[in-house]
Amino acid sequence: MFETMLGTLLFFVGLIIILLLAGMATFLHWQLHLRKKRDALLLAEQEAVMAKNREDALKSLHIIAKSYISGQVELGEAGIRVSRLMNVLGLTDAQRAPFTVFDQIHERLAHIPILQDWKALSKKEKFQHLKTINTVERDFKDFAVPAAKELAVFKIVEPAFYAV
């Protein structure tokens, strides 16, 4: 009799343990489901923000290119702005290749102070930097104009992948 009572007790203890573990597994599975759902929403929001930023950067590139072509912006400023905006877009090397002239301009002018730092320079330092800017603009003008014309109508074409 003792053995049957002990066997029954152990059976019910085992059943309770199994039910508790099943309940915990169900709870954890539900938590995982909620987390995946939340992560998917966050990812969708981030992708929407990134798409908006890319669209804004592309519009800015078009405006800068058109402004340079029409003479409203100097080549040095256009080169620096275009190069930085291209970094925001995260283009491939092939997509960026026609516009490397702006990267070269940016590299040559990146050391020149701007805004308050420019105001703090002496006249002699400003003159040296202006001389550098004019030299760069003269050296790259013939390459920058066609690149700016192409940039004014540039569209990002995403590579297409086909299933085999």
Three-state SS string across the chain, please? CHHHHHHHHHHHHHHHHHHHHHHHHHHHHHHHHHHHHHHHHHHHHHHHHHHHHHHHHHHHHHHHHHHHHCCCCCHHHHHHHHHHHHHHHCCCHHHHHHHHHHHHHHHHHCCCCCCHHHHCCCHHHHHHHHHHHHHHHHHHHHHHHHHHHHHHCCCCCCCCCCCC
**Angle between the N-to-C axes of helices 2-69 and 123-152, in degrees from 0 to 180, rounded to the nearest 10:** 100
Phi and psi of 37, rounded to 5°?
Answer: -65, -45
Candidates 102, 76, 77; CA nearest to 89 is 102
Would the pLDDT of 164 be above 60?
A: no
| Cβ(66)–Cβ(152) below 8 Å | yes
Taking only the tens place, the pLDDT of each residue in 44-102 is: 999 999 989 999 999 999 999 999 999 999 999 999 999 999 988 888 888 999 999 99
Average pLDDT along the chain: 92
Query: HSE (CB half, 13 Å, CA atoms) of 130?
Result: 8
pTM attached to this predicted model: 0.74
Q: What pLDDT was estimated at residue 91?
A: 86
- Give 4's Cβ-side CA count (13 Å radius): 1
* 25 has pLDDT over 70: yes
Each domain of the chain, given as residue ranges in start order, spans: 2-152
Tell me the angle at which helices 75-89 and 100-109 cross, rounded to the nearest 10 degrees: 120
Q: What is the pLDDT of residues 129-142, one digit of tens each?
A: 999 999 999 999 99
